[in-house]
Amino acid sequence: MKQSLILLFFSCHFIASAQVLDSTVQKNLQKIYTHSLTNAQSYDWLRYLSKRVGNRLSGTPAAAAAVEYTRSILDTLGLDSVWLQPCMVPHWDRGEKELVRVVNSQKWGTFDLKSMALGNTTGTGSEGILAQVIEVKSLKELENLSDSKVKNKFVFFNRPMNPEHLRTFKAYGQAVDQRSQGPLIAQKKGALGVLVRSMTVNFDDVPHTGATKTDGNKPSIPAFAISTNDADRLSNILKTESSLKIFMLNSARMLKQKLSYNVIGELRGRTKPNQIITVGGHLDSWDVGEGAHDDGAGCVQSIEVLRTYKKLGFKPRHTIRAVMFMNEENGLAGGLAYAADSTSGISHFAAIESDAGGFTPLGLSYEDAPKEMDLLAQIGKYLAVYNLRVGPGGSGADISPLKGKARLLMGLDPDSQRYFDIHHTADDVFEKVSKRELELGAAAMTSLIFLLDQLDK
């Protein structure tokens, strides 16, 4: 009987301790949210980055200014370390305003298409190029055409993003190969240039730029995105005018590589200093718009994680780093440089990226992590209180080179319904970002990192 009472005492003591621990964690999460929604600086940082620095394609003076600005922010936070990590980045220049013109349509005459050159491509030269255009809906359709049917023509890729997918990133993933790979395949088959339907489910007059793969050993052919409205109009004309010709003119060029940097700030861990939790976004953006959602939002949210830790007096067990990666848009040089930095004895426990816009956070996704399912299930229970789902999905391009090196790769998962309205366009400006939604995203990431840090045994 006495032994039973002793066992009962220890059992009750264990349960009480677990309840105290649970209560303490919940209380700290509430502190994170209260601070993030009442005392954050991320929105002001984003305003400066968007309005004063502006768009910041790798290799440009604006990208260099963004490096200095974010380093200066980190320097004010009282972190243990702040440094710049060098990387060589591509330097692509769009040149003069593009022109893509339908010439002498039998029904519609001559008119211009809303267009924007794709990143890493080469211009037409000062004389421009006039050629017949052929439409395809997939890479496979193009590959099945004989080279003689493609040679000396423009290829028009016109596969829409599928609006049936509730998660628009899935629709994007199914359509973007025509932009990223299509121009190179067309070039190998003898095409003179490429047109690509913009990557959005919207029907509008806004062209969306983006990167495309190139040979590397020779200049690419000119390649342009055209708006979805113009893509539909062109497709309809081609149904009855198969010999339609288009004139292209632009002066895009690839310049010499430039030295640039990832910007890194760090809070050293108390008990596991050699195990890193990285949180980040990419500092570069396309050369149109202001790069507010893509990915200024992710950068300032990541910095806010460290600021919140300092303001609340949290002492992390693991080392926590915020990384502003350079060159995600057209090269991934920053992500590769970060993953290649193999300091002796240092390992990555987790890496989290915010690169899906500064919209309302719906959850946090993780890549395949069978050994961490118990930990993720625990985290999910805490975050469910804040209407956040923790489930399988993607992480981020910049942290993808850490696959196989980090135990966990995760990403912030905001509401994506509006993201591809502005992604890679001139409409990606500060005014499109909600202060409240941006701060909720920072709170979600800080909470995730707090739970990873505290619950990892």
- The predicted-structure confidence for 319-330, as pLDDT tens digits, reads as follows 999 999 999 999
Domain-ending residue, one of 251, 273, 293: 251
Total-model pTM = 0.93
Taking residue 280's Cβ as centre, other Cβ atoms within 10 Å add up to 32
21, part of any domain: no
Percent of the chain with pLDDT over 90: 92
Which of the listed residues 211, 230, 251 is the one where a domain comes to its end? 251
Which residues are CB-neighbours of 440 under 8 A, at least 6 positions away?
36, 37, 360, 361
Find the CATH number of the domain harbouring 67.
Answer: 3.40.630.10
Residue with tokens 């290649």: 340
Please say whether the beta carbons of 231 and 256 come within 8 A. no
Whether 367 is covered by a domain: the verdict is: yes
At residue 342, the 3 state secondary structure works out as coil
pLDDT of residue 21: 42
Q: Note whether 339 and 294 are same-domain residues.
A: yes
Are 226 and 142 members of one domain? yes
DSSP bridge pairs for 245: 103, 132
Question: Tokens standing for 253?
Answer: 């060029």
- pLDDT higher than 90, residue 420: yes
- Pair (317, 424) in one structural domain: yes
CATH number at residue 224: 3.50.30.30
* Same domain, yes or no: 304 and 438: yes
Residue that finishes a domain, picked among 251, 286, 316: 251
In which band, very low, low, confident or very high, does the pLDDT at 1 lie, cut at 50, 70 and 90?
A: very low
Write out pLDDT tens, residues 80-100.
999 999 999 999 999 999 999
Q: Are 426 and 391 in contact (CB under 8 A)?
A: no
Tokens found for residue 425: 């366009």
**pLDDT one-digit tens code per residue, 346-386:** 899 999 999 999 999 999 999 999 999 999 999 999 999 99
Q: Phi and psi of 431, rounded to 5°?
A: -65, -15
Together in a domain, 209 and 316: no
Query: Is 409 part of a structural domain of the chain?
Result: yes
* 162-185: pLDDT as tens digits: 999 999 999 999 999 999 999 999
Could you tell me if 218 and 120 lie in one domain? yes
Q: What tokens were used for 28?
A: 């700290």
Residue 16 lies in a domain: no
Q: In terms of domains, do 62 and 146 share one?
A: no
14 lies in some domain: no
Using CB atoms within 10 A of its CB, is residue 273 exposed (0-12), middle (13-18) or buried (19+)?
Answer: middle
Examine the domain organization and report whether 213 and 186 are in the same domain: yes
- Structural domain including 177 reads 95-251
| Residue at 315 is within a domain | yes
Identify whether residues 383 and 419 lie together within a single domain.
yes
Does residue 247 share a domain with residue 162? yes
- Which residue in 44, 109, 22 sits closest to 442, CA to CA? 44
Under 8 Å CB-to-CB from 329, ≥6 apart: which residues? 57, 58, 119, 210, 211, 282, 284, 285, 286
Q: Are strands 154-157 and 193-197 parallel, antiparallel or unpaired?
A: parallel
Q: Do 103 and 190 fall into the same domain? A: yes
| 29 within some domain | no
Provide the domain count of the chain: 2
Q: What digits encode the pLDDT tens for the residues 153-162?
A: 999 999 999 9
Backbone phi and psi for residue 60, each to the nearest 5 degrees, phi listed first: -95, 160
Residue 389 tokens, joined: 């789902």
Give Cβ neighbours of residue 102 (< 8 Å, ≥ 6 apart). 108, 110, 111, 112, 113, 234, 237, 244, 245, 246
Task: Please check whether residue 9 lies inside any domain of the structure.
Answer: no
267 lies in the same domain as 389: yes
